[in-house]
Amino acid sequence: MARFSNGSSYKDHYSALYQEGSSGWEQSKAALLELKELSHEHGFDLKVVILPELHELVDYAFAREHELLAGFMSQNGIEHLDLAPFFKDQH
């Protein structure tokens, strides 16, 4: 498994990005809400596609992160599609 210079795996790295209170997650949520506002102001449809991380699809490691992201978008009325189920258990 690939490691970052600090010794963490890519799984640890990606999971840390979605920890409550992390700057990246807070900035991502703010950006999604801004896009929603802009879509209303300028009359375009906002539709977000969640793509799975494709290194290991069998026993997918980022289901929690997908649920967190999808939950945030659902709570805020942002239309979205998670493609992870379409790739479930692909080799």
Please, how many CA atoms are within 13 Å of residue 77, restricted to the half-sphere of its CB? 6
At 4 the pLDDT is 55
- Compute mean pLDDT per 10 residues along the chain, 91 residues long, and list them: 64 86 93 98 97 86 93 98 88 73
Residue 17: per-residue pLDDT:
85
CA distance 13 to 7: 10
Residue 25 pLDDT: 93
pLDDT at 57: 85
Tell me the C-alpha distance between 8 and 74, whole Å.
Answer: 31
Q: Report the pLDDT value the prediction gives residue 18, as an integer from 0 to 100.
A: 87
Q: Give the per-residue pLDDT at 29.
A: 96
At position 74, the amino acid (one-letter code) is S
Angle at 27 between CA 64 and CA 11, to 5 degrees: 35
| Residues 52/9/22/65 CA torsion (nearest 10 deg) | 30
> Alpha carbon of 7 to those of 12, 13, 69: distances in Å?
10, 10, 26
